[in-house]
């Protein structure tokens, strides 16, 4: 551990303590190299025609994103393994994965295919070994593009890939189509090989693969030719010198090659069969049962109070801050201190998740973390883990826990959300002097979280909100949604802190929580400004752009 109590960046714990694999649910044998080496002639293909006919969602868009790498791309492991083989014609691995000391973070570097020097074949009269046939090698274009990227693979309670551009180059010197013209993806080669291995002639495989040209193009196969299919299956055909046939419904037509001769194409038949057996392939996205929907028609009233589309850290180094919570008509958050109480109706609950999707981080006090054991993820349809890719729209949970009171464990809902790819690892804000024990620190890191140490206090010896917000901004958080609990809300509505608030969004539910309830009421009177009230289901939502003292 570093002097300030923070975890060392090498991922090792202090005091020589070992990770308990059961406690952390650590995989015993991490997958060292999940990237399929699809071009290997000896390997068995893992793709089939089905992969062409039922490509991953938004394939053309994802290929373009993985080609350009304009922004950091985060993908879950299965998503990376699904999409990467469709762009491995672009990216050539430079070195094998380097690992950090924790053994759970693997970094690979890739360069654009056109970074390699141009290959010029040796003159044909170059002496060859006896019996070796002369190979016609083409000039391979290269040396023109300096685009590079790295993939960082995390393995642990949090698993996934982060893909980032490296180096000074900001864009390729060519487009994706240009690469598709000169090199085929491993998916295309594997599909071709697997079809030949079923006993079909390369020419027939080529015809069948070309049947749905739109899908073939989306997969990078616009320039696929018969030779590619022959090359993909060459080794297999040499070993298995059996007679190959044409696909059912196709025939050899002199002068035209293999053509379809009955009404039903092979691909249409495969499509039909698949729809019978596997509804998941029928473009129905299976969503987790707790997925929430907040209709577009209900969103407009929130628009002026949301963080801007491209939020920026303001001149004072502060992010956009939204305070949001749900209260009863007697301004209570829970039936009693130490209790969690459902106040929001289903519509306003969905609204809260919509708000979560619009912020980089959710902040709560440790009182709420202990009482509620919250998941602190976004369960809105379309965000990562709920129909979306990676962790898109998933906010970072942040717990203010100056005294390290939160006993986080793998059973905590926030970590269960991480484990299932439905949320991000939490950050814990602590004060100096209260060291979290090394096992908990290590666990936080294992689940993709971390600890932030702050040393700036206000006159009540609480951490200064300005320091908290600036620390988050320094970590790249541009918008923060603060949810509670009572102490946090009261504190932020006080005059010395209220200027940090960009918006306040409060749900009022039609209920009294009674006189034993945990209330919300700042020390001094305040009045909300620039207010808009909106009925939502049986609740009413109040949006405001800030508070001022009320005399
Ligand atoms: N209805 C709703 O919308 C919501 C309801 N809730 C409810 O609220 C209740 C919890 O509220 P409450 O008990 O007040 O707890 P809080 O969640 O407000 O947490 C308070 C604790 O967080 C730490 N903390 C917060 N801010 C600071 C700061 N600036 N500096 C230092 N420490 C800070 C302190 O920890 P320490 O004491 O260790 O110093 C403090 O005691 C629960 O019942 C929960 O269900 C929560 C959120 C929303
Ligand atoms: N908007 C809102 N309405 C309520 O009725 C609530 N009780 C809360 N509580 C907040 O939501 C957190 C629970 O989050 P998960 O659903 O577990 O992700 C809880 O910790 C409070 O911050 N909010």
| Other Cβ atoms closer than 10 A to 502 | 21
pLDDT of residue 13: 33
281, 305, 340 - which closes a domain: 281
pLDDT of residue 269: 58
Query: Which of 26-30, 292-296, 483-487 has the weakest average pLDDT?
Result: 26-30
pLDDT of residue 11: 33
Nearest by Cα to 104 from 42, 165, 152: 152
One domain, residues 65 and 154: yes
One domain, residues 275 and 357: no
One domain, residues 488 and 438: yes
Mean pLDDT value of segment 344-370: 98
- Given ligand 1 and candidates 454, 455, 485, which is best to mutate, with the most ligand atoms within 8 Å of its CB? 485
403 CA → ligand 1 middle, Å: 13
State what percent of residues in the chain have pLDDT above 90.
Answer: 70
Asked if residue 55 is part of any domain, the answer here is yes
Task: Report pLDDT digits (tens) over 433-476.
Answer: 877 889 999 999 999 999 999 999 998 899 999 999 999 999 99
Nearest by Cα to 514 from 333, 348, 342, 368: 333
pLDDT of residue 447: 97
326 CA → ligand 2 middle, Å: 8
One domain, residues 420 and 485: yes
| Other Cβ atoms closer than 10 A to 148 | 19
Confidence of residue 386 (pLDDT cuts 50, 70, 90): very high
490 CA → ligand 1 middle, Å: 10
One domain, residues 250 and 370: no
498 CA → ligand 2 middle, Å: 22
Mean pLDDT value of segment 193-200: 92
pLDDT of residue 284: 44
One domain, residues 398 and 487: yes
Verify whether ligand 2 is closer than 6 Å to residue 13 (CB atom).
no
Please give the number of the atom of ligand 2 that sits closest to the Cα of 377.
18
CATH number of the domain that residue 417 is part of: 3.40.430.10
One domain, residues 86 and 202: yes
Mean pLDDT across the chain, nearest whole number? 87
Asked if residue 244 is part of any domain, the answer here is yes
pLDDT of residue 261: 78
In degrees rounded to 5, what are phi and psi of residue 302?
Answer: -80, -20
Mean pLDDT value of segment 236-260: 85
Class of residue 180 by CB neighbours under 10 A (exposed 0-12, middle 13-18, buried 19+): buried
What are the helix (H) ranges across 292-393? 346-357, 366-372
Report the domain count for the chain: 2
pLDDT of residue 251: 87
More confident of the two residues 236 and 39: 236
One domain, residues 387 and 339: yes
- pLDDT above 70 (res 347): yes
Verify whether ligand 1 is closer than 6 Å to residue 483 (CB atom).
yes
What is the H or E stretch that residue 92 is in?
A: strand 91-99
- pLDDT above 80 (res 263): no
Angle in degrees, 0-180, between the axes of helices 202-209 and 226-239, rounded to the nearest 10:
140
Asked if residue 373 is part of any domain, the answer here is yes
Class of residue 204 by CB neighbours under 10 A (exposed 0-12, middle 13-18, buried 19+): buried
Asked if residue 7 is part of any domain, the answer here is no
485 CA → ligand 1 middle, Å: 4
Task: Report pLDDT digits (tens) over 26-37.
Answer: 443 444 444 444
Asked if residue 304 is part of any domain, the answer here is no
- The two beta strands, 546-549 and 526-529, are antiparallel
Residue nearest to atom 2 of ligand 2 (CA): 326
The alpha carbon of residue 515 and the mean position of all alpha carbons in its chain are separated, in whole angstroms, by: 44
Residue pair 183/232 in contact (Cβ under 8 Å)? The answer is no
Query: Which of 6-15, 334-343, 511-520, 524-533 has the weakest average pLDDT?
Result: 6-15
Verify whether ligand 1 is closer than 6 Å to residue 334 (CB atom).
yes
One domain, residues 271 and 349: no
pLDDT of residue 29: 40
pLDDT of residue 95: 77
Verify whether ligand 1 is closer than 6 Å to residue 485 (CB atom).
yes
More confident of the two residues 191 and 257: 191
368 CA → ligand 1 middle, Å: 5
- pLDDT above 60 (res 270): no
227, 256, 281 - which closes a domain: 281
Instruction: Name the β-bridge partners of 540.
Output: 508, 535
Residue pair 208/259 in contact (Cβ under 8 Å)? The answer is no
Q: Which residues contact 514 (CB under 8 A, 6 or more apart)?
A: 330, 332, 335
| Other Cβ atoms closer than 10 A to 2 | 10
Residue nearest to atom 48 of ligand 1 (CA): 484
Asked if residue 118 is part of any domain, the answer here is yes
| Other Cβ atoms closer than 10 A to 122 | 9
One domain, residues 357 and 470: yes
Confidence of residue 20 (pLDDT cuts 50, 70, 90): very low
Residue pair 394/384 in contact (Cβ under 8 Å)? The answer is yes
pLDDT of residue 117: 75
- pLDDT above 60 (res 358): yes
Verify whether ligand 2 is closer than 6 Å to residue 364 (CB atom).
yes
Q: Is 25 left (phi over 0), alpha (psi -120 to 50) or beta?
A: left
Distance separating alpha carbons of residues 538 and 400, to the nearest angstrom: 32
- pLDDT above 90 (res 228): yes
437 CA → ligand 1 middle, Å: 22
DSSP string, 443-493: HHHHTT-EEEE---B-TTSSBPHHHHHHHHHHTT--EEEEEE-HHHHHHHH
Residue nearest to atom 12 of ligand 2 (CA): 374
- Given ligand 2 and candidates 302, 326, 366, which is best to mutate, with the most ligand atoms within 8 Å of its CB? 326
Three-class SS state of 182: helix
Verify whether ligand 1 is closer than 6 Å to residue 484 (CB atom).
yes
Verify whether ligand 2 is closer than 6 Å to residue 328 (CB atom).
no
74 CA → ligand 2 middle, Å: 26
Give the range of the structural domain holding residue 416, as residue numbers without chain letter.
316-545
Ligand nearest to the CA of 454: 1
pLDDT of residue 272: 53
Nearest by Cα to 423 from 105, 159, 72: 159
Asked if residue 99 is part of any domain, the answer here is yes
483 CA → ligand 1 middle, Å: 9
Residue pair 508/537 in contact (Cβ under 8 Å)? The answer is no
**Lateral strand order in the sheet of 148-154:** 73-75, 160-166, 148-154, 105-112, 91-99
Mean pLDDT value of segment 181-190: 95
Verify whether ligand 1 is closer than 6 Å to residue 325 (CB atom).
yes
One domain, residues 358 and 426: yes
228, 263, 281 - which closes a domain: 281
Mean pLDDT value of segment 168-187: 95
- pLDDT above 50 (res 214): yes
One domain, residues 326 and 239: no
Ligand nearest to the CA of 327: 1
More confident of the two residues 375 and 103: 375
Verify whether ligand 1 is closer than 6 Å to residue 511 (CB atom).
no
Asked if residue 11 is part of any domain, the answer here is no
Confidence of residue 128 (pLDDT cuts 50, 70, 90): low
Q: Which residues contact 343 (CB under 8 A, 6 or more apart)?
A: 326, 327, 328, 333, 507, 509, 511, 513
- pLDDT above 90 (res 408): yes
Query: Which of 71-80, 165-174, 262-271 has the weakest average pLDDT?
Result: 262-271
- pLDDT above 60 (res 2): no
Task: Report pLDDT digits (tens) over 315-339.
Answer: 889 999 999 999 999 999 999 999 9
């Amino acid at each position: 551990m570093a002097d300030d109590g923070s975890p060392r960046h090498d991922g090792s714990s202090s005091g020589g303590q070992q990770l308990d694999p059961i406690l952390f649910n650590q995989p015993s044998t991490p997958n060292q190299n999940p990237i399929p080496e699809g071009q290997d002639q000896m390997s068995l293909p893992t793709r089939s025609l089905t992969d062409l006919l039922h490509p991953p969602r938004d394939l053309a868009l994802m290929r373009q994103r993985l080609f350009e790498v304009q922004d950091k791309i985060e993908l879950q492991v299965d998503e990376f393994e699904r999409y990467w083989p469709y762009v491995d014609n672009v990216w050539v691995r430079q070195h094998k994965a380097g690992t950090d000391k924790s053994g759970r973070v693997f970094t690979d570097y890739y360069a654009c295919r056109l970074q390699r020097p141009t290959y010029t074949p040796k003159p044909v009269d170059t002496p060859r070994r006896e019996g070796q046939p002369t190979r016609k090698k083409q000039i391979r274009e290269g040396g023109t593009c300096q685009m590079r990227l790295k993939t960082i693979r995390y393995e642990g309670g949090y698993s996934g890939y982060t893909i980032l551009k490296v180096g000074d180059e900001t864009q390729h010197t060519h487009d994706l189509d240009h690469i598709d013209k000169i090199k085929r993806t491993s998916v295309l080669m594997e599909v071709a090989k697997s079809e030949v291995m079923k006993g079909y002639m390369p020419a027939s495989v080529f015809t069948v693969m070309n049947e749905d040209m739109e899908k073939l193009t989306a997969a990078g196969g616009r320039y696929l030719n018969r030779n590619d299919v022959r090359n993909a299956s060459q080794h297999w055909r040499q070993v298995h010198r059996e007679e190959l046939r044409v696909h059912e419904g196709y025939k050899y037509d002199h002068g035209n090659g293999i053509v379809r001769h009955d009404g039903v194409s092979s691909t249409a038949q495969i499509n039909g069969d698949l729809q019978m057996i596997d509804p998941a392939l029928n473009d129905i996205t299976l969503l987790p049962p707790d997925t929430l929907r907040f209709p577009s028609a209900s969103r407009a009233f929130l628009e002026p109070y949301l963080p801007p589309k491209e939020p920026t850290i303001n001149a004072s180094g502060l992010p956009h801050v939204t305070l949001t919570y749900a209260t009863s008509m007697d301004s209570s958050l829970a039936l009693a201190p130490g209790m969690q109480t459902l106040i929001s109706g289903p519509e306003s609950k969905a609204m809260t998740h919509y708000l979560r999707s619009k912020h980089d981080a959710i902040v709560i006090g440790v009182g709420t973390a202990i009482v509620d054991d919250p998941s602190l993820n976004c369960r809105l349809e379309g965000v990562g883990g709920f129909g979306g890719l990676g962790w898109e729209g998933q906010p970072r949970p942040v717990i203010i826990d100056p005294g390290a009171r939160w006993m986080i464990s793998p059973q905590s809902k926030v970590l269960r959300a991480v484990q299932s790819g439905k949320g991000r690892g939490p950050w814990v804000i602590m004060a100096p002097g209260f060291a979290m024990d090394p096992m908990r620190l290590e666990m936080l890191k294992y689940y993709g979280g971390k600890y932030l140490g702050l040393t700036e206090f206000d006159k009540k010896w609480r951490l200064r909100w300005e320091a908290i917000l600036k620390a988050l901004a320094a970590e790249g958080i541009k918008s923060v949604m603060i949810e509670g609990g009572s102490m946090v809300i009261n504190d932020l509505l006080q005059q010395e802190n209220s200027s940090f608030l960009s918006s306040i969004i409060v749900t009022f539910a039609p209920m009294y929580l009674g006189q034993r309830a945990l209330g919300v009421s700042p020390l001094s009177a305040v009045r909300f400004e620039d207010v808009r009230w909106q009925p939502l289901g049986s609740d009413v939502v109040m949006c405001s752009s800030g508070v001022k003292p009320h005399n």
